[in-house]
Each structure stands twice: as structure tokens, then as C-alpha cells.
Amino acid sequence: MQQINIINAKDHVDEKVKIGVWLTNKRSSGKIAFLQLRDGTAFFQGVVLKNNVSEEVFETAKELRQETSMWITGVIHEDSRSKFGYEIAVETIEVVGESEDYPITPKEHGIDFLLDHRHLWLRSSRPHATMVIRNEVIRATYEFFNKEGFTKIDAPILTGSAPEGTTDLFHTEYFDRDAYLSQSGQLYEEAGAMAFDKVFSFGPTFRAEKSKTRRHLIEFWMIEPEMAFMHQEQSLEVQEQYIAFLVQNVIDHCKDALDTLGRDVETLKRYTQLPYPRISYDEAVEMLKENDFDVDWGVDFGSPAETFLADHFSQPVFVLNYPKSIKPFYMKPHPTRKDVVICADLLAPEGYGEIIGGSERATDYNYLYDQIIKAGLDPKEYGWYLDLRKYGSVPHSGFGLGLERALTWITGEDHVRETIPFPRLLNRIYP
Ligand code: 4AD
């Protein structure tokens, strides 16, 4: 008898199979027991008919507790009434691990309770569906950048540099000196681009931000491509093609997961249509003012303003060329305006806000040296970075996609914490 996974049930209709499963829920009457089962790949139903199995099997089925693990054998049938489309007519049950009273029951639980039990909650259908989509987005990311000729260059996690400013650094000791957990791999990717032309990194990044919003994690994963001999306009094209590719792959490969989450596929399809609109920061400020937002030129947009801008276009929208004063030191200055830099944020619609931040990078040694000093950073720590401008400096551009921000938008979840297996939040490092 073949051992299979539930996800492959469709290939084994009318066959007798063996599956290792956990019980998620159960209903039974005098003659029949319905077992809701999961094996990590999918969820489906097992039907135990008293008349078809031994008395011992039927009694075992009736007594099973939630999350008991077991081997079952039985025949797969099509079941057009169920969401999954297949079920198993159970013949034997062999309990592998008994379960104590399981804390997460089918009733509603509060969010703190669920976060305290995240190690168990991951087994439930909603977080499971979200992680399936996370996995697909990561897979499609590697596919996209490989097909576009990028080389993956891993950036260090322990570092002496602070590309995104010193206010939210995680400090640590590195033997007899100070170090930080990486806020961004970008500076290292710039070195990579000078050696490999087009590179990307994918790794955890850390921001000790005291923000308690639905968009902020303390530890999040970032995808950071960097491209040599490339100006910002070409980088925007790579960005929108990448996002459309991710959305299309999720639509193509994660139908059941989207269905579990109640995410409308027609809405997602709209996001595969390119190009995405582009507006300048100046235009965005004007639009916001005309719509009664209290914004002045020179400030960063809050989340209601970002929501308004992207919803206005019903598409992700690039906002270009922000004020220099609110952006990091490494961005290329605008050729004709002193007050703005060549950069763009990509804002996702439906209230999800910024999912990408990117820019063309400053190429001039002296300019960059000055910016490092003005940012209050120690130029000695950036000697290696400045070297990139000494030995054949070229125009180059790159960007960072916050994986969890993008996933929150793609899945339609309402908090970024749902999209990472074990979220690190302002007051949470357990489990
Ligand atoms: O805009 P950020 O800070 O840009 C950088 O770090 C650049 N060095 C990237 C680059 O050009 N290589 O962050 C990039 C993205 C944001 O658009 C957002 O999606 C995500 O990272 N992000 C966060 N996600 C979750 N929690 C947080 N606290 C985040 N901060 C940024």
C-alpha cells in the first residue's frame, strides 16, 4: 500500500492508501464518524462507517482527541461537496501520539492567546494558507531573479554599518567592539553589483523601531536586488515586473490557500497589469492637499495618506523623488534640484502602504563622504563602501522589498504579524 500526502489525493482516487495525519476536529453519531484531518500538506475529511470497520476502529475513532497523530489507511473518493474535493473512507487507525487537551479549539480566541500559542497555531488552516503563499513568494523570487540573470550574494547579519539611520539599530557586542544586527544588506549588495553586475540578497533584517502598527515587525525579511549600469527608471521596470510575477505565481499556484483566506483573485489579477502609475512626491503632496490632508512639503506620508494615494489609482503606485532630508545618505542627488533625491517608494493599494523602497545610488566619492559625515556616521566604518566609488564607479540602482509587507497585501491579511512564522513585535519574542 502506498503512503501518500493529502495534497496528492487526486492522483489516488479509488486506491487504498496510507497517510500520517493529525485530527483537527471530529463529529460522530451512532453509525458514522467524520474526522477532519490534516497532514501538513492539506486538510480533508475521513469518514469512518461503523458497518465497514471493526468495532475497535470505530470506538478508537469516536474517542480521538484533537491533534492526536495517527496512521490511517483507507480508500480515496471524490467528494464534490467538500472544499478539498476528496475524502478518505477510513479502514484502519493506528494512534501514534496521544494529545492532551489542545488549547486551540474551533471557537474564537483572542489575538494575544493565539500569538502565545503560535507554535501550535501554525497548524490551523489560516496561518497554514498564509505560509503556503509565503513559500510560493520566496520560490517565485528565486525564479524571477535567476531568470533575469541575477546572482544571489548573501549579506552579513552582523555589521558595523547603519544604512538606514542610527535611531533603530540593534546593538550587540562583537568581542571587544560594537556591532549591529543588519538593517539592510544594501551596501554589501552594491559591492556585489560591482563584481557580478546584477545581484540580490534575501535575509532577515532588524529594526528596533518602537512602532506598534500593523505594518511594523522588529525582525523582517527583505529581498534586495542591486544592478550595475542601471538608472532608476530601468530599476522601476524591474520592480513592477517582479511584483506582477509574484502576484501571478500566487494566483497560479496557491488557489486553495487564497480561497481559505477569502482573498479575491479578480482583485489580485488587476495587480498583474503593467505599468504601475508613477507620480512625483511633489504631485503626491498636491493631490493630498486637494483632498484635505494636512501635509506640508518635506514630511514623510503617514499611513492614511499612503492609503489614499494607492487607492486613488487602484494599483500599486510609485512615488518618486522624495525630499533629501527624509531619505538615507546613499541616494543619488537630483541633477537639477538640490532638495530631492532619485528614489521611489512603491505603495500598495487597499491600505497596505509601502512595500518597496529603492533608489539610484550616489556615485561620487566626495559627495558620499560628505553625506556620511552629515548623517553622523563614522567614515572609517564606510571606507570599504567609499572604495566602490574610487575604483570604477558606475551608475547603479536597487531596491528592497519587505517580504512580510508584500505578503500582507497579497494575502489580504490585516496585520504583518500573520505573514511570518514567529513574529518579533515590540513586546513579543515568545515563542
Ligand atoms: O525603505 P527601507 O528602509 O529601505 C531599505 O532598507 C533599503 N536599504 C532597501 C534597498 O534599497 N536595498 O525598507 C525597505 C522595505 C520597505 O519598503 C518595507 O516593505 C520593509 O522593507 N520594511 C519593513 N517591513 C516590516 N517591518 C518593518 N519595521 C519594516 N521596515 C521596512
Q: Which three cell numbers stand for residue 82?
A: 467538500
Q: Residue 429: inside a domain, yes or no?
A: no
Which residue, by CA, sits nearest to atom 28 of ligand 1? 216
Residues 253, 28: Cα–Cα separation, whole Å: 35
| Mutate-to-test residue for ligand 1 from 141, 167, 180, 184, highest number of ligand atoms within 8 A of CB | 184
The CATH code of the domain that includes 13 is 2.40.50.140
pLDDT the model gives residue 83: 86
Asked if 72 and 132 sit in the same domain, the reply is no
pLDDT the model gives residue 211: 85
Residues 406, 133: Cα–Cα separation, whole Å: 11
Which residue, by CA, sits nearest to atom 11 of ligand 1? 399
Asked if 285 and 398 sit in the same domain, the reply is yes
Q: Residue 427: inside a domain, yes or no?
A: no
State if residue 136 touches ligand 1 by the CB under 6 angstroms criterion: no
pLDDT tens digits for range 328-345: 999 999 999 999 999 999
Asked if 87 and 122 sit in the same domain, the reply is no
Domain count, the chain: 2
Residues 21, 1: Cα–Cα separation, whole Å: 16
State if residue 354 touches ligand 1 by the CB under 6 angstroms criterion: yes
Half-sphere exposure of 396 (CA within 13 A, CB side): 26
Q: Residue 102: inside a domain, yes or no?
A: no
Asked if 9 and 135 sit in the same domain, the reply is no
Full DSSP string of 224-280: EEEEET--HHHHHHHHHHHHHHHHHHHHHH-HHHHHHHT--HHHHHHTTSSPPPEEE
| Mutate-to-test residue for ligand 1 from 141, 187, 198, 222, highest number of ligand atoms within 8 A of CB | 222
Domain span at residue 305 reads 118-419
In DSSP terms, 179 is beta-bridged to 172
Which helix (H) or strand (E) covers residue 113, if one does? helix 111-116
Asked if 382 and 300 sit in the same domain, the reply is yes
Residue found under cell 527624509: 326
Burial of 117 (0-12, 13-18, 19+ CB in 10 A): middle
State if residue 306 touches ligand 1 by the CB under 6 angstroms criterion: no
| Mutate-to-test residue for ligand 1 from 167, 170, 354, highest number of ligand atoms within 8 A of CB | 354
Please say whether the beta carbons of 187 and 201 come within 8 A. no
Q: What is the dihedral of CA 61, 66, 70, 76, to 10 degrees?
A: 70
Q: Which of 181, 189, 134 has its CA nearest to residue 405?
A: 134
Q: Residue 146: inside a domain, yes or no?
A: yes
Q: How far is the CA of 280 from the centre of ligand 1 (A)?
A: 20
Euclidean distance between the first and the last CA atom of the chain, given in angstroms as a whole number: 39
pLDDT the model gives residue 166: 86
Asked if 36 and 169 sit in the same domain, the reply is no
State if residue 161 touches ligand 1 by the CB under 6 angstroms criterion: no
Please say whether the beta carbons of 348 and 409 come within 8 A. yes
Asked if 139 and 288 sit in the same domain, the reply is yes
Residues 169, 91: Cα–Cα separation, whole Å: 58
Please say whether the beta carbons of 73 and 92 come within 8 A. yes
Ligand 1 atom, smallest distance to 405 CA? 19
pLDDT the model gives residue 116: 98
State if residue 316 touches ligand 1 by the CB under 6 angstroms criterion: no
Q: Which of 396, 275, 386, 236 has its CA nearest to residue 332?
A: 396
Q: Residue 109: inside a domain, yes or no?
A: no
ipTM higher than threshold 0.90: yes
Q: Which of 318, 235, 309, 310 has its CA nearest to residue 277?
A: 318
Indicate the residue among 63, 97, 131 that finishes a domain.
Answer: 97
Burial of 415 (0-12, 13-18, 19+ CB in 10 A): middle
Q: How far is the CA of 402 from the centre of ligand 1 (A)?
A: 5
DSSP three-state, residue 128: helix
Indicate the residue among 66, 97, 128 that finishes a domain.
Answer: 97
Asked if 71 and 129 sit in the same domain, the reply is no
- Residues 6 or more apart whose CB falls under 8 angstroms from that of 137 comprise 246, 249, 250, 403, 406, 407, 410
Per-10-residue mean pLDDT, the chain, length 431: 97 98 95 97 97 97 97 97 94 98 93 97 98 99 99 97 90 95 98 98 96 94 99 98 99 97 98 98 98 96 95 96 98 97 98 97 98 95 97 98 98 98 96 98
Asked if 318 and 211 sit in the same domain, the reply is yes
Residues 115, 130: Cα–Cα separation, whole Å: 15
The CATH code of the domain that includes 297 is 3.30.930.10
| Mutate-to-test residue for ligand 1 from 214, 220, 303, 404, highest number of ligand atoms within 8 A of CB | 220
Name the DSSP class of 345: E
Asked if 319 and 248 sit in the same domain, the reply is yes
| Mutate-to-test residue for ligand 1 from 405, 418, 424, highest number of ligand atoms within 8 A of CB | 405
Please say whether the beta carbons of 88 and 44 come within 8 A. yes
Indicate the residue among 41, 67, 97 that finishes a domain.
Answer: 97
Q: How far is the CA of 292 from the centre of ligand 1 (A)?
A: 28
pLDDT the model gives residue 396: 98
Q: How far is the CA of 356 from the centre of ligand 1 (A)?
A: 7
Residues 291, 304: Cα–Cα separation, whole Å: 12
Residue 348 CA, chain-centre distance (Å), reads 14
Asked if 202 and 132 sit in the same domain, the reply is yes
Asked if 72 and 148 sit in the same domain, the reply is no
State if residue 405 touches ligand 1 by the CB under 6 angstroms criterion: yes
Please say whether the beta carbons of 223 and 401 come within 8 A. yes
Q: Residue 37: inside a domain, yes or no?
A: yes
State if residue 209 touches ligand 1 by the CB under 6 angstroms criterion: yes
Q: Residue 366: inside a domain, yes or no?
A: yes
Q: Residue 110: inside a domain, yes or no?
A: no
Residue found under cell 500520517: 20
pLDDT the model gives residue 106: 84
- Residues 6 or more apart whose CB falls under 8 angstroms from that of 105 comprise 66
pLDDT the model gives residue 373: 97
pLDDT tens digits for range 176-188: 999 999 999 999 9
- Residues 6 or more apart whose CB falls under 8 angstroms from that of 405 comprise 215, 220, 348, 352, 353, 354, 355, 416
Residues 374, 377: Cα–Cα separation, whole Å: 7
Ligand 1 atom, smallest distance to 355 CA? 19
